Structure 1
């Protein structure tokens, strides 16, 4: 009798425990679409990472060295640039033109467009600039060449005008601000854009990014265009001759050859005619 009661009591306890802690169903509910997509993405990411480590065991090291090399190139520019660096990081290189057939006139500043001298002041001058050079402020009295304003206005209508001077930027930029009130000059290149060859400053047009077929340089110093003499229109140096008409001659020349296929052919003819006139 007691054993039956004990067995019944044990059975009752088991049933009560089962009711309180129901057994989980072996059939799981299906995952939601979003969780399934996330699961697949995580698995693919792990697999891809694993394959990458297998195929390139030194990948992290290579990437790290690559970043360090880039930082070094920017921090320490090469004194002797390679071809790739000269093409894309040369400070002399100008922004690209809107048209590949646009002509460019490179023109010198001192003794070509203006004449400058320091103290004492000359008898005639048009304006004064006071740059600070080597910590010292210097007065420069500037006289504009006759026809300068008309020259810049006329040539800039058909050509890209680039002033290429061997003068210091501290001085030349102030002069250009004065003579170019109407923004006829597209770009400015200074002494640091020149090349030094045998102790002389040379203006290398091949570094500027311009097609030499469509480029002309006007300069009073033959050393300046020693690398591209076929692109050069020589001009006599200007000091204080108020009867000078060189810029007017250049206006007529540039207005007459805007559609020439190769500007070097026009330059050759113009220079040859000037030489014949001087001989006569």
Structure 2
């Protein structure tokens, strides 16, 4: 075996070790010990929460809970060499496609916590074959994301997909959506929590930062009494 062949083998081994190290570091950052203190409810709080309906939190997928790219993408938003959290192999129109999926930091913990407060629903404008596969991975057999809506459940308006929250829950006092795209909830600005689109920032804390508000929101009689105060509603498309 010549020097060039030996060098190529050593380079491949080194590249693989670096890949494994980056993946381990990213996993450590993702699952670092960050906790939201779950203080037992006072008798007054227990009484209060017993007087209001349990609410439904609708969750978007892409750029809200995860980011993904697939084979053939020329301009990836993720830094080359960043290992995905999981890879999906999906056949679309008889063509196999690989999706490299990155989970937003702390999403697993976020889902664990908010599932104790709300009924969770996935609502994505993506195709069902993709959205269902992502939801399955995020759920990880915990039974948190059993109710799901996909592109066929959206409305196409002005060239973009919108999400009808009344299809989830006709009682608009008890349903709200977390989505990075204001156009998706154009018809329900008072039932929405905006979140910055996420692509690859490993230090992102957006999901954790929402926990105090989500903890408090479950006690209100009408979510719109709080969410209508969001200034983002004035920037929605007209």
**Structure with a larger share of its residues in helix:** 1
Unpaired segments of 5 or more residues in structure 1? 1-98, 276-280
* 1:51-62 equivalent positions in 2, closer than 5 A: none
**TM-superposed deviation, 1:266:** 2.0
Residue by residue over 1:41-86, the C-alpha shift from the partner in whole angstroms, topping out at 9 and shown as x without a partner, is xxxxxxxxxxxxxxxxxxxxxxxxxxxxxxxxxxxxxxxxxxxxxx
Runs of 4 or more, structure 1, over 4 Å off, are: none
- Aligned-residue Cα RMSD (Å) equals 2.0
Say if 2:165 and 2:176, in contact at 8 Å, map to a contact too.
Answer: no
* Structure having greater relative contact order (Cα 8 Å, sep ≥ 6): 2
TM-score using structure 1 length = 0.59
* 1:149-164 equivalent positions in 2, closer than 5 A: 149-164=108-123
Say if 1:163 and 1:188, in contact at 8 Å, map to a contact too.
Answer: yes
Residue by residue over 1:177-215, the C-alpha shift from the partner in whole angstroms, topping out at 9 and shown as x without a partner, is 111111212411000000111221100112223311111
**TM-superposed deviation, 1:123:** 2.2
Partner of residue 170, structure 1: 129
Larger Rg: 1
Report the Cα distance in structure 1 between the residues aligned to 2:146 and 2:136, rounded to whole angstroms: 12
**TM-superposed deviation, 1:147:** 1.1
Report the Cα distance in structure 1 between the residues aligned to 2:71 and 2:169, rounded to whole angstroms: 39
Partner of residue 236, structure 2: none
**Structure with a larger share of its residues in strand:** 2
Partner of 1:154, secondary structure, is helix
Report the Cα distance in structure 2 between the residues aligned to 1:151 and 1:255, rounded to whole angstroms: 12
Residue by residue over 1:256-275, the C-alpha shift from the partner in whole angstroms, topping out at 9 and shown as x without a partner, is 12110111122234x35x99
| Residues 102/210 of structure 1: CA separation in 2 closer, same or farther (3 Å cut) | farther
| Residues 211/186 of structure 1: CA separation in 2 closer, same or farther (3 Å cut) | farther
**TM-superposed deviation, 1:100:** 8.5
